Amino acid sequence: MTTQLQEIDPCPSCEGTRFQLLFTKKERDFWRCCGCGVERQYPLPTNEQLEQYYSRHYESGRLASMVEEQEMIRVRAERRVREVRPHLPPGRWLDVGCSSGAFVRAARGDGIDARGIELAAPAVANAQASGLPVEQSRIEDHQPDQPYDGVTAFDVIEHVQDPVSFVKNAERLLLPSGKLALTVPNLASVTCRLMGKRWYFYIPDGHLYYFDPRTLRALLEAHGFGVERIVAIPKAMTPRYTLGQLQQLNPLLAKLVHPIVQIMPDSIANMAVPVYVGEILAISRRAALSPRGSA
């Protein structure tokens, strides 16, 4: 295969415009920045394609899910609170892309005045029905009456059309002493290196941008943050849920795992255990004198 290079929209981490075509998956092209290694889908899906993707995602997935899966989501959220709680100032937190509010609920249970914003209407309705302070909003449109001590965004910025705008808005929403916690799939993870283009995080229309610790740090530092730590972080998953995800994202691997899950007793197949799927957690503080790039 010949190397295909092209000038496209600037990279969110280094502002470079020269990209190399990596592969095409379900008619979507995946590119790598020649300057820093950020990967992205380009052209970005249209709003209509994104709406289709997310309505499919919600119909087939989480919201219509089983009791066992709800339990897994609760365990995952409580674990996530324990992971970020020591690094973020207590007080008021905003969880961006909070889905049905599991993290908001878990943080509130731990004494944090947490609230959430989310785009998917069914998820917002779910959260509100259980009494959680969750609004339907993009980060760009969110106008709180006072800034936050903490902003969290788990598995979110890889989905957004403009990660730079996302980071700038996170900074806008924080107190000067505030901190940001976010997780993303990690291009430098073992799972990515082993699986290549079959990596389950390469999701057409779903994940639009991909970072590694270096490029995530560059993105944050270019737009008002000082990075305090970036660490690999596990996700609580049950074997049965993992199999369901693989069947959608990587059928080949699912075929290998299926017989193993089949012979497990229910108590094991539905047990949420931490798995290093290839994600990183970044904790950043608002930088006192932030270099704001060339803007």
Residues 134, 152 contacting (CB under 8 angstroms): no
Q: Considering the complex, what minimum distance in angstroms separates the CB of residue 222 from Zn ion? A: 11
Looking at the Cβ atoms of 40 and 240, the one nearer to Zn ion is 40
Could you tell me which stretch among 1-9, 13-21, 55-63, 161-169 binds Zn ion (CB under 5 A)?
13-21
Looking at the Cβ atoms of 39 and 69, the one nearer to Zn ion is 39
Q: Which of 14, 125, 175, 195 binds Zn ion (CB under 5 A)?
A: 14
CA 87 from centroid of its chain's CA atoms? 19
Looking at the Cβ atoms of 73 and 164, the one nearer to Zn ion is 164
Q: Considering the complex, what minimum distance in angstroms separates the CB of residue 159 from Zn ion? A: 19
Looking at the Cβ atoms of 43 and 144, the one nearer to Zn ion is 43
Q: Considering the complex, what minimum distance in angstroms separates the CB of residue 218 from Zn ion? A: 8
**Mask for 26-65, x = binds Zn ion (CB under 5 A):** -------x-xx-x---------------------------
Looking at the Cβ atoms of 10 and 196, the one nearer to Zn ion is 10
Residues 284, 180 contacting (CB under 8 angstroms): yes
Looking at the Cβ atoms of 148 and 210, the one nearer to Zn ion is 210
Q: Considering the complex, what minimum distance in angstroms separates the CB of residue 215 from Zn ion? A: 7
Structure tokens at 213: 């610790």
Q: Considering the complex, what minimum distance in angstroms separates the CB of residue 286 from Zn ion? A: 23
Looking at the Cβ atoms of 38 and 233, the one nearer to Zn ion is 38
Residue 81's nearest CA partner among 115, 40, 110, 123 is 110
Q: Which of 16, 45, 122, 133 binds Zn ion (CB under 5 A)?
A: 16
Question: Which residues fall within 8 angstroms of residue 260, CB to CB, at 6 or more apart?
Answer: 239
Residue 104's nearest CA partner among 94, 90, 91 is 94
**Mask for 171-210, x = binds Zn ion (CB under 5 A):** ----------------------------------------
Q: Considering the complex, what minimum distance in angstroms separates the CB of residue 287 from Zn ion? A: 21
Residue 153 lies near Zn ion (rule: CB under 5 A)? no
By CB under 5 A, name the binding residues for Zn ion.
Answer: 11, 13-14, 16, 33, 35-36, 38
